[in-house]
Structures are given as C-alpha cells and as structure tokens.
Amino acid sequence: MSGYIKDTKWEKSKMPAHQSRSRTRDRGNVLNRPEFMSLNQPLRTSNAEVRGLTRRPGQMKHQPSQQPEYTQESTESGKDRRESLKLPEEDCMQLNPSFKGIAMNSLLAIDICLSKRLGVCAYTSSPWGSVRSMVTLLALTGHGITWICGTLLCLTRSNTLAGQEVLVNLLLALILDVMTVAGVQKLVKRKGPWEMSPGFLDYVAMDVYSFPAAHASRAAMVAKFLLSHLVLAVPLRILLVLWAFLVGMSRVMLGRHHLTDMACGFALGFLHYSLVEMVWLSSSACQTLISIGTLSWSPFY
C-alpha cells in the first residue's frame, strides 16, 4: 500500500505544472458540472439562417426582389396570428367602465332577474302553470287584433254621429299604436326573459319582440281614451285602470316581456293618447272616412 502511494506521488511530481493548474481550474469551475453543460453550448442556428448569413454580397445584389416578398409574407402571417388571438367583443372585459355604464348594467341585471322571477306562468310546469290559460285570456283582452275588430264591429252598429266620431278616432289611435310599437320593436329587437316563440296572433299584430310591451301600451292608451270620452261611474273607472295594469302584468307573468318593457309600454300608450287628442278628427271628417270605407262616398255630394 505504501508503495502504491509512493508511485502516485511520483507520477504527480512528474506531471507538468500547467496541466495541474488547468485541472484545478476545471475542478473549481461550476459551469463544468453536468447539470450546467447546456449553458456552455453555443446557440444553434437553422440551415436557412446559415445560408442567409453566408450568402455573398454579389448574390444579394442579383436577388433584390426576394426580400420584400419575404417581409410581406411575414407581416401577413403576423397579422393573421394577431387576428386569430383576438377575442370577440362580448368576451372582452372593459377595464375602466364609467359610472353610467355600471348603473345601466346593474339596472338591466335587476330587470332580468325580477322578470324571470315574475314569469310564474311561462310554462305549464311553472309554479302558477295551472292558471296559465286564465292569464292568457286576460292578455288576449289587450291584443291589438281584438280591439281593432271590436271597434270596427261597434262602428258598424253605431247610429249616432258622436258615437261614430269617438269610434273612428279610437280606431285611428289603435292603428297608430300597432304601427309605432311594431316599428320600435323592429329597431330594438330585444328578446323576452324566456325563450318563447311568438304565437299566430302576435305575428299578425307584429308583436314579435319584447321592447316595448304592445299590450301594456294598448291597454294604457285605451283606458285613458275611455276615461276621457265616456261617462263612467267610479267603480267602473277603478276597474278600467286595474284592467290596464293587469293586462301589462299578464304578459310579464307569461314570460313575454320584462318589467321595463311594460313600464315603457305604459308611457308609450299615454303618448299615443296625447297625439290622438292633438289631431282629433271632427265629426265631418269621420263621416267622410266612413263613407270612403263603405264605398258610398261621392266627391260631388
């Protein structure tokens, strides 16, 4: 054993001094460890980059048109990549919303929540599904087709000039209400709180969308019109106002409209009444319209 130690010492003494110093330096270098060997390796370049770097200046002069094509293709690919990474607008979040935007979104959320909770007759399986047919019948009393047909029937049975004058103006108010509500609904295109397809009468009366509520507008206009031009007792007046409110609520209970749709419908109904009162047709104008409608009008009479 002692002889082996002496031999190793003799070999170390025979080793040159610069080799011993390099081994000591390598042993002390941390980057020579196996786990850090990848840090000492040079960066790998692709063959295309090497060819591009080793290309002679003469070749670059003879091929000036290839560089714009490459840059154009790279810019187009970059644009396509950015467009593919873009999110749709409804998925993006506004980082700094205004106070008005926050208030409007909060009110809309409350409106949708309350409207869905009040839609207790939306389906037969709803909590009040057993009275759905009665609520539907109540809503039918405020339908535009019902009132237009009823007004025409009363107009054919009326024999007094005053009665015909009131009925003709009521008919014009109903037509104005139907056309105005249909136009606003077509512009806004707001859907109801529940996914329900419109019925046949709704398509006939052009009551397809949710905002504003056509039944509420019509009920408010008719109730105000009858209260102004008919002499009614106090109980009948109370019943007429209650009927207008229940007609508007019936559509909310059936899941057709939101609460804000009903409120805006009531406001639009009062506006229609004010417009009809401003352009009220006289008795002679009403008689002319009746004569034209019955094909018995003569311009020389």
215 is catalytic: yes
The SS3 call for residue 145 is helix
Rounded distance between C-alpha atoms, residue 233 and residue 11, angstroms: 131
Token pair for 131: 């009275």
CA angle, corner 97, sides to 95 and 98, nearest 5? 155
Rounded distance between C-alpha atoms, residue 150 and residue 96, angstroms: 54
Do 135 and 253 form a contact (C-beta atoms < 8 A)? yes
The SS3 call for residue 178 is helix
Do 197 and 170 form a contact (C-beta atoms < 8 A)? no
Taking the CA atoms of 287, 290, 292 and 298 in sequence, report the sign of the dihedral they define: negative
258 is catalytic: no
Per annotation, catalytic residue among 18, 62, 229, 257: 257
Per annotation, catalytic residue among 215, 229, 258, 272: 215
What residues act catalytically? 215, 257
